A and B are shown apart, each in its own frame.
Chain A
Amino acid sequence: MIAVRCSDLTKDFGRTRALYDINLEVEEGSFLALLGPSGCGKTTLLRLIAGFEAPDQGAIEVAGRTVAGPGVFVPPEKRQTGIVFQDYALFPHLDVSRNIAFGLPKGANHQNRIAEMLSLVGLKGYERRMPHQLSGGEQQRVALARALAPHPTVLLLDEPFSNLDADLRSRIRAEVKGILACAGATVIFVTHDQEEALYMGDRVGVMNAGRMEQIDTPEAIFYRPASPFVAQFIGVADFIQGVVQNGDVVTEVGRAPLDRKLPPGEKVRVMLRPGAVDIVPAADGDGVITERIFQGSEYLYRVQLPSGASIRSLQQYSCCYPANTRVRVTARFDSGLVYFSSNGAGPKG
């Protein structure tokens, strides 16, 4: 079943357009990560789904019911969407158990549900604590418990880990993923951290300047990016020119078969990941190492090609070459050839 569906969503703030024709579907029980640089519109999209903003065009469905669209606007309190903000937004005047009970129907006995939520997030015995007595990680788990307690159709997380220190973040991330999986929750979360998106998301939506560039599995996003922006935003990518010849694309670092027919002589931009570029020192090599960056277990080399293009290559720490070494450069296309049209518009491949 589809928990959330957005169709052709558009949102303007004054004269600036924050979102252009956003389409997405989230399966019940799955995680969607919305990834993009700050100002790309991902938080706005989240706020539209929650009902804190109204779209200018398009429609939003939650659990099959239209909650926003032409002539329809369901206020946030009637949408059954839980939300966890970056700063957690715990009610400072209420203790942990009252925070968790806040969204539960009035009058009923909530002790069981509160106990259930507290054991889910591992905070048994914290019922009477006030928010200011909790650490950042504990506050976050209370915020999660509060959002999950009323059984929301979808849980929305806005940059949930950006307030935590780096070493705490990876631990909390794993914990939260476990808690949410255990609760069987449907989750949409917003982040600007690609590592976080790839780790948490069953699917990742990459956004840029108000547009959804691609929604796909983390693997597909990495290996088959739909646009140069996605290629460069997820991992490291360089682009060099290739020319179509006899059904292949020929570049100065190797050739690879095309998966579709293109007119011979057409120029394309070919994506190269540093991990798929090999260099071997050779006196007659075409490339010259211009920079060596030590990264612990690996070296990242910057290599200048005869055409003037600069690409990067990742080598094991045992392959240590000084700058200005001449090298033979070869690219491997075994995980698929990714290329875009030369003018940068419209992805191919």
Chain B
Amino acid sequence: MGRGGQSSRPPVVIWLPAAVVALAISLPIAYLALRASGAGGEVWDLFFRTRTLAILGRTVALVVAVTAVSAAISLPLAWLTTRTDLPWRKTWSVLTALPLVVPSYVLGFAVVAALGPRGVLQQALGSLFGLERLPEIYGFPGALLAITAVAYPYILLTVQASLRGLDPCVEEVSRSLGHGQWDTFRRVVLPQLRPALAAGSLLVALYALRDFGAVSLLRYETFTWAIYLQYQTSFDRMLAAALSLVLVAIAIVILIAEARTRGGGRYHRSAAGVSRTPAISCLGRWRWPALAFCSLVVLFALAMPVGVIGYWMVRGVAAGESLQAAWMPALNSAYVSALAAAATALAAVPVVFMDVRFPGLISRLLERATYIGFALPGIVIALALVFFGANYALFLYQTLGMLVFAYAVLFLPQAVGPMRASLLQVSPRLEEVARSLGRSPARVLAAVTLPLLRPGILAGAALVFLTTMKELPATLLLSPIGFKTLAVSIWSTTSEAFFARAAFPALLLILLSSVPMAFLVNRERKGRS
């Protein structure tokens, strides 16, 4: 029955902007495919060159290793922070999730500056024991450490949520049937966590695949860095385009797998509405190793970057390093992020309205189109826009407009998410009541729908602001000449090993990102109470 409300034909003021948005964001990938297909047979040769295969091997090795280590860290952490009497459980729960806000290149900076050849550890050991060399941190081990440290919370958070949602009765039944605590965990709890584990793992895999900052700072040549090098050194655009397409293909495979796990493997609690707090396991003597484990994770993923930033800042200031240089990039970062947040939120509104209020095939296609940003790594979008701008739109090339457009393509899904959730909560009945009380559709939109949608719009914009602040590859390739942001400053000074110069921008970046983060966390908390 047609209880969804309203006539099923959307008004032109909604579908036209939505179509324009969808078309615009499909532009980069379409252009890239066109470029690569125009090259003909040569592209296939490129795919099967040993160098391409070596890059593929390295990328897969990194993705698999990061995902496996993240899962191995997250599973015990999730259990310890939700189901045990671990001392300061709430605090650990917050601290272990925090690395999520640290950009991978800041952790890359921390790893290089702490464990690298001229880093903190080497200097300390050098002065104490005369040690000249540490084991090589560049390459695979460094990249693995840096990316795992910032990506594992994706698994941690999904598994924690799943553990909280499990029906404790099922575990009690297992215990009453004669299975011990460990047996129950293995045979009852773990299988129920599998969907969450899979979903989180795929997010981590996608993160590792798309990462540019850490792999470039730690000089581990995966697809993203190879594409960048290709673009920087030889301007061999076809090879860069071909590599990009391989990267996109892998990303799409991971995304499809992720969508599968989300759709299929959902488990429901057996009794609706009845929710009891699950039994808390007593750790007893085991709490000491448990505490050591939590401390180690927090030490490496959180305390080390903060400590390294602090150390190099103090050293830099002592050595007469000027802090002035960081203010302009900070201003630029905030400015371009605000622009991106506004533009992306604006673009999301018609898409969300089409999707929620006028469901149908076209709406679904539009909504799917917005997910292009999930599939395309930043470096790919940036490259496509560079080619496109240089060939067809020189007046846009290296302008702020082009940069903001790239951000919008990349982060549209993040604006759509909270806005969609918000609009779904606005019952169409509210709009109908308003109509029956004598208001025209436009006035209903202004008086009822938009005010109720405001939290969702703000949350979406805050999320886009946060991620734009941290974005590196697109910023690196598309920024107008002389327009330097915090992300670019940190990356370029670190790659030249001017650690002291990277420290203050890194601090500012973390401080500036925590403003929208605090807003989002606060909103989440309010929403729960």
Contact partners of A87 in chain B: CB under 8 A: 427, 429
* Segment 50-78 of A: residues with Cβ below 8 Å from B: 50-54, 75-78
Contact partners of B6 in chain A: CB under 8 A: 52
Segment of B126-134, B300-308, B348-356, B434-442 engaged in the interface with chain A: B434-442
CA of A7 to CA of B447, assembled, Å = 35
**Is A102's CB under 8 angstroms from B437's CB?**
yes
B7 to A, closest residue via Cβ: A54
CA of A52 to CA of B441, assembled, Å = 12
Contact partners of B452 in chain A: CB under 8 A: 91-93
Q: A52-B5, A87-B427, A89-B427 are in contact. Are A150 and B437 (CB under 8 A)?
A: yes
Contact partners of B7 in chain A: CB under 8 A: 53-54
**Is A77's CB under 8 angstroms from B435's CB?**
yes
Decide if B446 is an interface residue (CB 8 Å cutoff). no
Residue among A44, A53, A80 with most chain B CB within 10 A: A53
CA of A242 to CA of B92, assembled, Å = 80
**Is B437's CB under 8 angstroms from A91's CB?**
no
Q: A13-B2, A39-B1, A52-B5 are in contact. Are A77 and B427 (CB under 8 A)?
A: no
The number of A-B residue pairs with CB atoms under 8 Å apart is 76
CA of A150 to CA of B437, assembled, Å = 7
Interface size on A, residues (CB 8 A): 32
CA of A63 to CA of B430, assembled, Å = 25
Q: A50-B436, A77-B435 are in contact. Are A44 and B429 (CB under 8 A)?
A: no
A43 to B, closest residue via Cβ: B3
Q: A18-B1, A93-B451, A93-B452 are in contact. Are A103 and B429 (CB under 8 A)?
A: no
CB distance from B453 to the nearest CB of A (A): 10
User: Which residue of the partner chain, among B433, B439, B440, B451, contacts A83 with CB atoms under 8 Å?
Assistant: B433
19 extra interchain contacts, Cβ-Cβ under 8 A, other than A76-B435, A83-B436? A18-B2, A39-B1, A44-B2, A47-B2, A52-B6, A54-B7, A75-B435, A75-B440, A76-B432, A77-B440, A78-B438, A80-B438, A89-B427, A89-B429, A103-B436, A103-B437, A147-B437, A150-B437, A150-B438
Per-residue 0/1 for B423-462: is the Cβ within 8 Å of any A Cβ (1 yes, 0 no)?
0000101101111111111000001100110000000000
B448 to A, closest residue via Cβ: A91
Contact partners of B432 in chain A: CB under 8 A: 50, 52, 76, 83, 85, 89
Residue among A77, A82, A93, A103 with most chain B CB within 10 A: A77
CA of A152 to CA of B438, assembled, Å = 10
Contact partners of A54 in chain B: CB under 8 A: 7
B437 to A, closest residue via Cβ: A103
Contact partners of A77 in chain B: CB under 8 A: 435-440
Decide if A79 is an interface residue (CB 8 Å cutoff). yes
Per-residue 0/1 for B105-148: is the Cβ within 8 Å of any A Cβ (1 yes, 0 no)?
00000000000000000000000000000000000000000000
Contact partners of B436 in chain A: CB under 8 A: 50-51, 76-77, 79, 81-83, 103, 147, 152
Decide if A146 is an interface residue (CB 8 Å cutoff). yes
B434 to A, closest residue via Cβ: A102
* Segment 212-236 of A: residues with Cβ below 8 Å from B: none
**Is A146's CB under 8 angstroms from B437's CB?**
yes
Closest 9 CB pairs between A and B?
A103-B437, A89-B429, A76-B435, A85-B429, A83-B436, A77-B438, A89-B433, A13-B2, A77-B435
**Is A91's CB under 8 angstroms from B430's CB?**
yes
CA of A85 to CA of B428, assembled, Å = 11
A86 to B, closest residue via Cβ: B429
B438 to A, closest residue via Cβ: A77
**Is B2's CB under 8 angstroms from A85's CB?**
no
CA of A18 to CA of B2, assembled, Å = 9
CB distance from A194 to the nearest CB of B (A): 22
Contact partners of B435 in chain A: CB under 8 A: 51-52, 75-77
Contact partners of B441 in chain A: CB under 8 A: 75
Interface size on B, residues (CB 8 A): 23
21 A-B pairs with CB atoms under 8 Å apart are A13-B1, A43-B1, A50-B436, A52-B432, A54-B7, A77-B436, A77-B439, A80-B438, A81-B436, A82-B436, A83-B433, A85-B433, A91-B434, A102-B439, A103-B436, A103-B438, A103-B439, A146-B433, A147-B436, A150-B437, A150-B438
Interface residues of chain B, those whose CB is within 8 Å of chain A, are: 1-3, 5-7, 427, 429-430, 432-441, 447-448, 451-452
CB distance from B434 to the nearest CB of A (A): 7
Contact partners of A92 in chain B: CB under 8 A: 452
CA of A283 to CA of B451, assembled, Å = 77
A103 to B, closest residue via Cβ: B437
CA of A76 to CA of B431, assembled, Å = 11
Contact partners of B434 in chain A: CB under 8 A: 91, 102
Contact partners of B427 in chain A: CB under 8 A: 87, 89
* Segment 10-24 of A: residues with Cβ below 8 Å from B: 13, 18
Contact partners of B438 in chain A: CB under 8 A: 77-78, 80, 103, 150
Contact partners of A89 in chain B: CB under 8 A: 427, 429-430, 432-433
CB distance from B289 to the nearest CB of A (A): 46
CA of A218 to CA of B436, assembled, Å = 29
**Is B1's CB under 8 angstroms from A44's CB?**
yes
CA of A44 to CA of B5, assembled, Å = 10
Contact partners of B2 in chain A: CB under 8 A: 13, 18, 44, 47, 53
CA of A116 to CA of B63, assembled, Å = 68
CA of A150 to CA of B1, assembled, Å = 30
B3 to A, closest residue via Cβ: A43
CA of A81 to CA of B436, assembled, Å = 6
Per-residue 0/1 for A134-165: is the Cβ within 8 Å of any B Cβ (1 yes, 0 no)?
00000000000011001010000000000000
A14 to B, closest residue via Cβ: B2
Per-residue 0/1 for A23-37: is the Cβ within 8 Å of any B Cβ (1 yes, 0 no)?
000000000000000
CA of A76 to CA of B434, assembled, Å = 9
A101 to B, closest residue via Cβ: B437
CA of A83 to CA of B440, assembled, Å = 16
Per-residue 0/1 for A79-118: is the Cβ within 8 Å of any B Cβ (1 yes, 0 no)?
1111101010101110000000011000000000000000
Contact partners of B430 in chain A: CB under 8 A: 89, 91
CA of A79 to CA of B438, assembled, Å = 8
CA of A50 to CA of B430, assembled, Å = 14
Contact partners of A85 in chain B: CB under 8 A: 429, 432-433
B427 to A, closest residue via Cβ: A89
CB distance from B210 to the nearest CB of A (A): 39
CB distance from B366 to the nearest CB of A (A): 22
CB distance from B31 to the nearest CB of A (A): 39
CB distance from B65 to the nearest CB of A (A): 48
Contact partners of B451 in chain A: CB under 8 A: 93
Contact partners of A51 in chain B: CB under 8 A: 435-436
A12 to B, closest residue via Cβ: B2
CB distance from B515 to the nearest CB of A (A): 25
CB distance from B120 to the nearest CB of A (A): 53
Contact partners of B437 in chain A: CB under 8 A: 77, 82, 102-103, 146-147, 150
Contact partners of B5 in chain A: CB under 8 A: 52
CA of A150 to CA of B439, assembled, Å = 12
CA of A285 to CA of B434, assembled, Å = 65
B2 to A, closest residue via Cβ: A13
CB distance from A30 to the nearest CB of B (A): 20
CB distance from A158 to the nearest CB of B (A): 9
